[in-house]
Amino acid sequence: MSSSAPARSPQRPASVDLRVNIGSLTLKNPIIAASGTFAYGVEFAHLVDLNRLGGIVVKGLSAQPMEGAGAPRICETASGMVNAIGLQNIGVRAFVADKLPLLRRYNTAVIANVFGHTIMDYVEVIRVLEDADGLAGYELNISCPNVERGGIEYSTDPALTSAVVAAARAATKRPLWVKLSPNVNMIGVSAKVSEAEGADALVIANTYPALCIDAHNRRSRLGSTTGGLSGAAIKPITMRLVYEACRVVKIPVIGLGGIEKPADIAEYVLAGASAVEVGTAHFVDPRASERLVSGLEMWCRDENTFEISKLRGSLQR
């Protein structure tokens, strides 16, 4: 009787390396929960395995607590939403006392989003955070109004961009990401200025100014009249901004705008982004970021892409 050949064990699928470098930071994957859409992170811990995420950017922090805008604050639109939250937050000191100790339990990069109406405000928030453990870096939101200069946004004026980034850089040795406004003629200008003043990475971009009207009652659908448009509708526009910025700076760029599925992440990476932030998708599915981690791994395997970082900037022209 002939002996049968030994049974072969099934081949294990090749592993996918999703690690990315953002300056001196190494993230386990390129998927980061965006500021303002994931609270302070700990509020989602009963729904999401925070350890699976590449990082979390907490809700924007100001020197003093802020109540934010009046209701209604969110309006659904075609392929997106318009919001006017008004930067409501508990203030930096309450964050350090109440939220940060809980975040230290998780193995994920925690980035503090910092904003202010004056340069002194930005520096004060960073000064308070500098004495606290558990932060991987800062995201400098320079897309909010500057009271000292009549409402001009810091990132739409190169001189103001230079001043606020330089002041923040001098205040910390931690990694500094600068979140730029899309409301500029040439994103490359603010990108290069931020890089020159010591930014470790750029986040592109914030929401787009928008207005939603209720024709029946002839009023705005938001309490503060205008707001910021986000969601799938803005992805092609933001993609172009990421692409343009990546062509003029050497520091990493993080894409933010309209990410809902793994292919969206791949598109941003092809355009030059090193990582992405997921925002509006959390309002549809609080588990969106965690779901995208698994989805991206499957996408990479299907595309025979076993190191996500090798995909970066490989858009063919």
Tell me the catalytic residues: 144
Starting from the edge strand earliest in sequence, which strands make up the sheet with 74-77, in order? 74-77, 80-83, 226-230, 208-211
The one-letter amino acid code at 311 reads: L
CA dihedral 264, 244, 272, 294 (to 10 degrees): -20
* Residue 66 DSSP SS3: strand
C-alpha 276: how far from its chain's center? 7
Tokens (6 digits) for 279:
């925002």
Q: What are the phi and psi torsion angles at 263 (to 5°)? A: -60, -30
d(Cα 89, Cα 68) in Å, to the nearest integer?
8
296-307 burial code (b ≥16 CB/10 A, e <16): bbebbeeeebee
Q: What are the phi and psi torsion angles at 8 (to 5°)? A: -90, 135
d(Cα 185, Cα 32) in Å, to the nearest integer?
27
116-155 burial code (b ≥16 CB/10 A, e <16): bbebebbbbbbebbeebebbbbbbbbbbbebeeeeeebbb
